[in-house]
Amino acid sequence: MSYMLVYGTKAVIPAWVEIPSLRVIQEAMLDDTEWIWVRQEQLMLIDEKRIDAVCHGQLYQNRMASAFNKRVKPRQFTPGLLFLKKIFPHQEEAKGKFAPNWKGPYMVHRVLSGGALILEETDVRINRKPINLDAIKRYYV
Protein backbone atom coordinates (compact mmCIF):
# COMPACT_ATOMS: atom_id res chain seq x y z
CA MET A 1 0.00 0.00 0.00
CA SER A 2 2.80 2.44 0.85
CA TYR A 3 4.46 1.71 -2.53
CA MET A 4 1.33 2.86 -4.32
CA LEU A 5 1.17 6.05 -2.26
CA VAL A 6 4.78 6.95 -3.05
CA TYR A 7 5.10 5.90 -6.71
CA GLY A 8 1.47 5.98 -7.86
CA THR A 9 1.48 2.42 -9.24
CA LYS A 10 0.92 -1.00 -7.79
CA ALA A 11 4.04 -2.99 -6.88
CA VAL A 12 4.76 -6.06 -9.02
CA ILE A 13 7.10 -8.67 -7.60
CA PRO A 14 9.86 -9.61 -10.11
CA ALA A 15 8.84 -13.26 -9.91
CA TRP A 16 5.43 -12.30 -11.29
CA VAL A 17 7.04 -10.65 -14.29
CA GLU A 18 9.46 -13.54 -14.94
CA ILE A 19 6.94 -16.37 -14.40
CA PRO A 20 3.58 -14.68 -14.80
CA SER A 21 0.56 -15.72 -12.80
CA LEU A 22 -2.99 -15.88 -14.10
CA ARG A 23 -3.66 -12.33 -12.89
CA VAL A 24 -0.66 -10.89 -14.76
CA ILE A 25 -1.62 -12.80 -17.92
CA GLN A 26 -5.20 -11.52 -17.73
CA GLU A 27 -3.87 -7.99 -17.41
CA ALA A 28 -1.70 -8.57 -20.50
CA MET A 29 -4.81 -9.72 -22.46
CA LEU A 30 -3.35 -12.98 -23.83
CA ASP A 31 -5.67 -15.57 -25.32
CA ASP A 32 -5.68 -19.17 -24.02
CA THR A 33 -3.58 -20.80 -26.76
CA GLU A 34 -0.89 -18.14 -26.55
CA TRP A 35 -0.91 -18.38 -22.73
CA ILE A 36 -0.48 -22.18 -22.88
CA TRP A 37 2.38 -21.86 -25.38
CA VAL A 38 4.17 -19.19 -23.30
CA ARG A 39 3.66 -21.18 -20.10
CA GLN A 40 5.09 -24.41 -21.61
CA GLU A 41 8.08 -22.50 -22.95
CA GLN A 42 8.73 -21.04 -19.51
CA LEU A 43 8.44 -24.44 -17.84
CA MET A 44 10.97 -25.89 -20.28
CA LEU A 45 13.40 -23.07 -19.52
CA ILE A 46 13.16 -23.53 -15.74
CA ASP A 47 15.53 -26.53 -15.78
CA GLU A 48 18.08 -24.57 -17.81
CA LYS A 49 17.87 -21.67 -15.38
CA ARG A 50 18.35 -24.02 -12.42
CA ILE A 51 21.41 -25.61 -14.05
CA ASP A 52 22.80 -22.13 -14.79
CA ALA A 53 22.28 -21.12 -11.16
CA VAL A 54 24.02 -24.28 -9.87
CA CYS A 55 26.96 -23.77 -12.25
CA HIS A 56 27.25 -20.13 -11.23
CA GLY A 57 27.23 -21.12 -7.54
CA GLN A 58 29.94 -23.72 -8.08
CA LEU A 59 32.12 -21.26 -10.02
CA TYR A 60 31.69 -18.71 -7.25
CA GLN A 61 32.66 -21.25 -4.57
CA ASN A 62 35.73 -22.29 -6.57
CA ARG A 63 36.81 -18.65 -6.96
CA MET A 64 36.36 -18.00 -3.25
CA ALA A 65 38.25 -21.18 -2.29
CA SER A 66 41.17 -20.35 -4.59
CA ALA A 67 41.33 -16.77 -3.27
CA PHE A 68 41.38 -18.10 0.31
CA ASN A 69 43.92 -20.85 -0.44
CA LYS A 70 46.33 -18.33 -1.99
CA ARG A 71 46.80 -16.70 1.39
CA VAL A 72 47.03 -19.90 3.46
CA LYS A 73 50.55 -20.78 4.51
CA PRO A 74 51.12 -24.48 5.14
CA ARG A 75 52.58 -25.20 8.56
CA GLN A 76 54.90 -28.12 9.16
CA PHE A 77 54.97 -29.75 12.58
CA THR A 78 57.56 -32.23 13.75
CA PRO A 79 57.83 -33.85 17.16
CA GLY A 80 60.12 -31.88 19.43
CA LEU A 81 59.12 -28.35 18.40
CA LEU A 82 57.99 -25.98 21.17
CA PHE A 83 54.59 -24.28 21.18
CA LEU A 84 52.43 -22.10 23.40
CA LYS A 85 48.81 -23.09 24.00
CA LYS A 86 46.04 -20.48 24.02
CA ILE A 87 44.03 -20.05 27.21
CA PHE A 88 40.37 -19.69 26.27
CA PRO A 89 37.99 -17.58 28.42
CA HIS A 90 35.91 -20.60 29.47
CA GLN A 91 38.93 -22.43 30.93
CA GLU A 92 39.74 -22.30 34.63
CA GLU A 93 43.19 -20.81 33.91
CA ALA A 94 41.57 -17.59 32.66
CA LYS A 95 41.36 -15.51 35.82
CA GLY A 96 40.58 -12.04 34.62
CA LYS A 97 41.69 -9.25 32.43
CA PHE A 98 45.37 -9.23 33.39
CA ALA A 99 45.89 -12.99 33.26
CA PRO A 100 48.19 -14.35 30.53
CA ASN A 101 46.63 -15.42 27.22
CA TRP A 102 49.11 -18.21 26.45
CA LYS A 103 50.36 -21.14 28.49
CA GLY A 104 53.43 -23.22 27.96
CA PRO A 105 55.87 -24.04 26.45
CA TYR A 106 54.74 -27.45 25.29
CA MET A 107 56.54 -29.89 23.04
CA VAL A 108 54.88 -31.66 20.12
CA HIS A 109 54.44 -35.33 20.99
CA ARG A 110 52.47 -36.48 17.95
CA VAL A 111 50.95 -34.91 14.83
CA LEU A 112 47.42 -36.11 14.02
CA SER A 113 45.66 -35.90 10.70
CA GLY A 114 43.09 -33.19 10.18
CA GLY A 115 45.06 -30.40 11.84
CA ALA A 116 45.50 -31.47 15.45
CA LEU A 117 48.45 -32.06 17.74
CA ILE A 118 49.06 -33.96 20.95
CA LEU A 119 51.33 -31.93 23.19
CA GLU A 120 53.56 -32.95 26.06
CA GLU A 121 54.81 -30.75 28.85
CA THR A 122 58.51 -30.20 29.42
CA ASP A 123 58.50 -32.74 32.26
CA VAL A 124 57.34 -35.42 29.75
CA ARG A 125 53.71 -35.54 30.92
CA ILE A 126 51.61 -36.16 27.82
CA ASN A 127 48.26 -34.43 27.44
CA ARG A 128 45.76 -36.94 26.07
CA LYS A 129 43.48 -34.30 24.56
CA PRO A 130 44.43 -33.21 21.05
CA ILE A 131 44.55 -29.48 20.39
CA ASN A 132 43.62 -27.72 17.18
CA LEU A 133 46.27 -25.84 15.21
CA ASP A 134 44.52 -22.48 15.50
CA ALA A 135 44.92 -22.55 19.31
CA ILE A 136 48.74 -22.78 19.33
CA LYS A 137 51.64 -20.60 18.28
CA ARG A 138 55.32 -21.32 17.90
CA TYR A 139 57.58 -20.69 20.88
CA TYR A 140 61.13 -19.63 20.04
CA VAL A 141 63.91 -20.08 22.59
What is the tens place of the pLDDT at every residue in 54-99? 999 999 999 999 999 999 887 788 888 888 988 888 777 767 788 8
pLDDT digits (tens, 9 = 90+) for 37-53: 877 888 888 888 889 99
Distance CA 112, CA 21 (A): 58
Residue 26 has pLDDT above 70, yes or no: no
pLDDT in tens, 90-137: 777 767 788 888 988 888 888 888 778 888 887 778 877 888 888 889
